[in-house]
């Protein structure tokens, strides 16, 4: 047997032995001596990464959404790590509301940022989904939807929309369809009393269509209206209240992940992350907070009825 060359504990190996064999012998010796690796050392065990997916739908162009969501994604990953959940969050952007609803109810995404109507429809489809939180609009659980017209339009109120062309958002949109149509019904206006109407999808498309006078009026959320009102020449003729957006977890999400997500969302203070969603924070949510939406959906069902 060869003699041992000993310079230090970490250079201990038989003369002529391969470096690989030397490493094995060293590790065995360290184990026998009770050596424990320190955090950050090559032999320390890294925490396991648990991938999570966040679903959002594109109310603006997908390329803008990806860029817009980055600060929020980074914030969530950092704060979840502080809660003991080490994760990489994948942002999934859905071009349609229906696609996002289906992905949540079928468990294809772990949690979502939804519109209120999408939550109500998803809850009907799968009652086991769970609210994580709802967004805060300066401490309130509501904001406004808007019906706007070109700034030089002769239309002054919702009553003037009979015989006009009206643009809506998606067929599953809260402010872009259901609440706007409920407001029209309340004003005594049904679909057959309009010259034309159409569902254009994203809110920005509605704003552009009204600004170009392709339509006489259009329904959007207040953020979209505020973004384009001055630069595109829009004027609001009606505001109506809407409950803020819910954040919702899929059925079966592990309890510790649900708890960590909810805690992270409710404590969100980071300005960059909040700028992503254009809100001042998040609040505790109850299913009953969305009863207003259920009532509006029922009222809007009369939009296509005739006397």
Beta sheet of 165-168, edge-to-edge order: 196-199, 165-168, 217-221, 142-150, 234-243
The residue-averaged pLDDT of 84-105 equals 92
In 89-245, DSSP assigns E strands to 89-94, 111-113, 130-136, 142-150, 165-168, 196-199, 217-221, 234-243
Do the Cβ atoms of 214 and 162 come closer than 8 Å? Answer: no
pLDDT surpassing 90 at residue 66: no
Do the Cβ atoms of 239 and 222 come closer than 8 Å? Answer: yes
What is residue 25's predicted lDDT score, i.e. its pLDDT? 55
Between the two ends of the chain, the Cα-to-Cα distance in Å is 104
Measure the CA–CA gap between 147 and 162, rounded to whole angstroms: 14
Measure the CA–CA gap between 243 and 136, rounded to whole angstroms: 10
**Structural tokens at position 91:** 């942002």
| Higher local confidence (pLDDT), 97 or 236 | 236
The residue-averaged pLDDT of 138-143 equals 94
221-277 residue pLDDT tens: 999 999 999 999 999 999 999 999 999 999 999 999 999 999 999 999 999 999 988
Residues whose CB is less than 8 angstroms from the CB of residue 129 and which lie 6 or more positions away in sequence, other chains included: 104, 105, 122, 123, 248, 249, 250, 251
| Higher local confidence (pLDDT), 139 or 39 | 139
* pLDDT above 70: percentage of residues in the chain: 84
């Amino acid at each position: 047997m060869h003699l041992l060359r000993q310079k230090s504990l970490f250079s201990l190996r038989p003369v002529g032995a391969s470096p690989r064999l030397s490493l094995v012998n060293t590790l065995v010796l360290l184990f026998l001596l009770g050596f424990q690796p320190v955090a950050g050392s090559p032999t320390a065990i890294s925490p396991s990464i648990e991938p999570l997916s966040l679903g959002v739908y594109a109310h603006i162009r997908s390329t803008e959404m990806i860029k817009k969501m980055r600060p929020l994604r980074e914030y969530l990953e950092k704060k979840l790590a502080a809660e003991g959940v080490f994760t990489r969050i994948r942002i999934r952007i859905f071009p349609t509301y229906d696609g996002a609803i289906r992905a949540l109810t079928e468990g294809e995404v772990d949690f979502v940022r939804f519109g209120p109507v999408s939550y109500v429809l998803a809850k009907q489809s799968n009652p086991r989904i769970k609210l994580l939180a709802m967004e805060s609009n300066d401490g309130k659980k509501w904001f406004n939807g808007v019906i706007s017209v070109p700034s030089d339009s002769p239309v002054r109120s919702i009553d003037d929309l009979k015989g006009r062309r009206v643009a809506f958002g998606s067929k599953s949109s809260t402010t872009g369809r259901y609440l706007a149509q409920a407001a029209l019904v309340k004003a005594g206006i049904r679909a057959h009393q309009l010259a034309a109407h159409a569902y254009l999808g994203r809110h920005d498309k509605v704003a552009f269509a009204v600004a170009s006078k392709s339509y006489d009026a259009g329904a959007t959320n207040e953020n979209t209206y505020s973004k384009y009102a001055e630069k595109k020449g829009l004027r609001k003729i009606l505001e109506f209240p809407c409950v803020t957006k819910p954040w919702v977890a899929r059925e079966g999400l592990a309890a510790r992940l649900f708890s960590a997500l909810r805690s992270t969302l409710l404590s969100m203070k980071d300005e960059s992350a909040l700028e992503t969603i254009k809100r001042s924070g998040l609040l505790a949510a109850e299913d009953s907070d969305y009863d207003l939406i259920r009532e509006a959906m029922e009222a809007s069902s009369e939009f296509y009825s005739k006397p």
